[in-house]
Structures are given as structure tokens and as C-alpha cells.
Amino acid sequence: MADVENAKNLVQSAAKIFAVLRAFEPTMPELTITDVAGRGGLDRGTAFRLIHTLVSLGYICPVPGTKRFRLGLKCLELGFLALSCQDLKGHAAPLLRERVPSVADAGSLGVLDGADVVYLERVDDGAGRHDVDRRPGRRIRAYGAALGHAQLAFLPEARQIEILESAERVKLSERTLTKLDDLLDRLRQVRSRGYAISDGENAYGLRTIAAPVLDASGLPIAGVSFTIDASRMDLDAFVALAKPEILFVAQQLTDAVRYSAGAIGVAARR
């Protein structure tokens, strides 16, 4: 066997890449290029090139609105076993925080539990004034929420019907869909475009866009959503702003679940 500790057998460029990745730690999760250079023992030009290479590959992410960077969820490919004790909620929280309030007044992570959506994480910057309670652990009927539609749409239709028929469906506003055929049509539309929209369907004055987090088999493990006060902007403007953001967050979490080979899951439902 070759002597792997022999300097002649080391690829210095690979060692420098891992020096960049190891520069980040729990107490310093966000670093500038200068920080990385100093902590990794690199010159600033090398750190700059390596960081931007890793950004292009998805292993490092820029922190919006700053000159700092953080590790991306794709790093789970390299060490998912070490992260297996973390759940999806812990990975969703910073992604939601980065987009509230710039994109939305609130961001949520929720899971299907029977006929309900159970909220696991909530970042709120004003949506709470509508007298709706979406704190972790709270429930809302899936048929009346974009967060429910985003997940139901990616289940087999027989399962959709089973869930929708398992609980009474009442109008939460004049816009709420309650007829089974109407809901199934809506779910087909959601699946086709990849996201769900609600405009005051379960709470007056709120607009929501939601997308599913999928497991390796393409089934929903959770959903994420962004919500705004309707007075902030019209629906078309909100969708134009929030659609790429919600799809990005959902894809990041979907990738995390897949890269972890099932090690990342949702917390126990209460």
C-alpha cells in the first residue's frame, strides 16, 4: 500500500479545498473570503478561486446581502452520517430566515399528518397580526392550505382522495375549495407547475405560495411556504418574486434529504 502520508502522494489543490471547507465551524458558520484565507492558511487569491469554484458546485453558498459565505447542504454528500442526528427543521430554519421579510412576511415548514398539515418551523415578521396561529405544533386542514396542496399533489390520486375524504371539508373563506372534483383539479395543476398558491383561501388578507420537499422516491416528506399580507403586493407580483425563492428552498431541502440517504427526516409530530 502506498504511503498516503508521504508528501509526494498528496494533491495540494485537493488539500486546499478541504482547508476551505474546514474553515467553517458551528461557532463561525458564515465567513468572508479573508476569514477563510486566514483560517485555512491560504493566500486570499487562492481562497477566492476555491470558494467560487465550490459555490459553482453547490458546496458553498453566498449569504444574501453580505460578503460572507456558508456551507451548502450539498456538503451532506461528504458527511451525512455525521449529521444524521439533525432533522429537516434545523436545515429549513436558516433558509426561511434569509427570505423573511425580504421575500415574505412569514416562512413555514410543515408536514402532512392525516388530513392535517402540522407546522414544524415558522419564521414570522408580521403575518401573525391576522389572528392566525402557525407556531410549530399547530395544525391546519390540508385541503384548505397551499402547504397542504403542495404535498397532496405529489401523492398518488387514490391517496389524495383517501386523505381528502377522511375529514369534513368546510369553507374557511368564500374562496376555499371544498368539492372533491375541484380539489383534485387543483392538485393536478399544482403537480404540473411544481408549486401551490393560496389567495385568501384559508385566512382573509393572506397570500401564500408553497412547494414540496420530496424524498428519493419522489414522494412528499414535507412542504415549505412563504406568506404575505395581501396589502403588500398583488398576487401576480408576489408569485413573480417568491416563486424562484420557494422552489430554491424546496430543492435545497429535497437535495439534503436525498444526499443524506434518509438520515435527515422530520422531527416527531406532536
Handedness of CA 55, 91, 149, 163 (dihedral sign): positive
> Which amino acid is located at 13 in the chain?
S
Mean per-residue pLDDT, 58-74: 92
What does the buried/exposed string (b/e) look like for 135-153 if buried means 16 or more CB atoms within 10 Å of the residue's CB? eeebbbbbbbbbbbbbbbb
Residues with Cβ within 8 Å of 238's Cβ and at least 6 positions away in sequence, in order, are 207, 209, 228, 232
Domain match, 176 and 235 both: yes
How does pLDDT run across 195-220, given as a tens digit for each residue? 999 999 988 899 999 999 999 899 99
Read off φ and ψ for residue 196, nearest 5 degrees. -115, 150
Judgement on whether residues 51 and 135 belong to the same structural domain of the protein:
no
The structural domain count of the chain equals 2
- In angstroms, the Cα distances linking 194 to 91, 115, 120, 150, 223 are 21, 21, 21, 8, 12
Q: Are residues 235 and 104 in the same domain?
A: yes
User: Exposure of 25 by Cβ count < 10 A (0-12 exposed, 13-18 middle, 19+ buried)?
Assistant: exposed
One domain for residues 161 and 49 = no
Sorting pLDDT into bands at 50, 70 and 90, what band is 143? very high
Q: Based on the domain organization, do 117 and 208 belong to the same domain?
A: yes
The span from the CA of 237 to the CA of 32, in Å, is 33
Q: Considering 41, 71, 101, which residue would you say is the last residue of a domain?
A: 71
| Same domain for 201 and 119 | yes
Supply the range of the domain harboring residue 31: 7-71
- 47 in the same domain as 173: no
- C-alpha 98/C-alpha 101 separation (Å) is 8
Digit-coded pLDDT (tens) for 148-195: 999 999 999 999 999 999 999 999 889 999 999 999 999 999 999 999
The CATH number linked to 112 is 3.30.450.40
pTM for the whole thing?
0.74
